[in-house]
Structure 1
């Protein structure tokens, strides 16, 4: 099993000891750096670059995948008084049974991760994060989580949830099968809107999307 701390150590070892004011915009971490983190049987599933912490330099998000597990990492740029470089911003496990590569986008400081896993019954999960400043540095904080469990062959009903973690606003909906044969589709019924307690969740503590969905739909 991959140890996330190994990438943390590698990042600190590759910190750049040049004066921040003497260097132009910092490039993102290289493909070679990412490849150097791989163990036998692993691959870089996908990556995305963009400014997450508002310093004008590109940050990097990438997924390392193997046949048995997938792990997402965030690397943030930093500019100190005497040096610049990259540091870990967060990481968490994705479901191993992917139905395609994860979708990664960075827009206006928000990281959005879209992931589809499962088989005939699929889990579609969307995670949203912002960089937050803490006493220990910058960390990625979960601000939104959407989840949907459904049958790709319309063999059963489904459920979906949209949770604004920053405000607590939550919406759940039952997906009811309508029609027959090739005309089968999902109809959204029994929509509930309610608030959940607001709490701070950093990337390393990201809850399971399906577990959260089951928890709120069973409570209805």
Structure 2
């Protein structure tokens, strides 16, 4: 690839270079194709439900008509992953960096929870599509008043992306498990209490004795609380880092 040439997936996401076309001008647009693919995945809750043939059928076109815009399903997945997050709302005026990053993380979670299939999209690189880059820009903007050097801002945001993406994927997997067998979650503490020997698992036994896994806390509430707890721990570390670098 020439140094001045954009990678194919980036060019496609930014609509910089259209896919090669042959024959009559197609009635479809790339946005039509992506919207149809996202709709199928949303309806089925499964990325595996998306195929070029099924998207074409939904749009009332031939599969070959799709290939004039996207060369493969892999290209379509790249476009879907960027379309799913949409564009973020701007940061509220006058807020500090910590509130800004909390707003950002909550916004990412809200956007992605609309698409259960998102957790199965491969992560092949840093943010590059227009929507994902808008979220990246928003998070960097939250750190503008901290005094951190630009490289450090990127490090903080990339760490936050890793945390949020990891929590999203774990959350989706756990939600699927809960939907299949809610009793296993509701009785988790009681189940462990029957098999945990305090002499072998002393730390786990203390957690059980403290009632941490006792029944009564709803799964969704617990899931949200775990996300918020981990987020604030991460931001505590960022606060200490900012103090060390700029204090």
Q: TM-score scaled by structure 2?
A: 0.24
Bigger radius of gyration among the two:
2
More strand by share: 1
Say which structure, 1 or 2, has more relative contact order (CA 8 Å, 6+ apart).
2
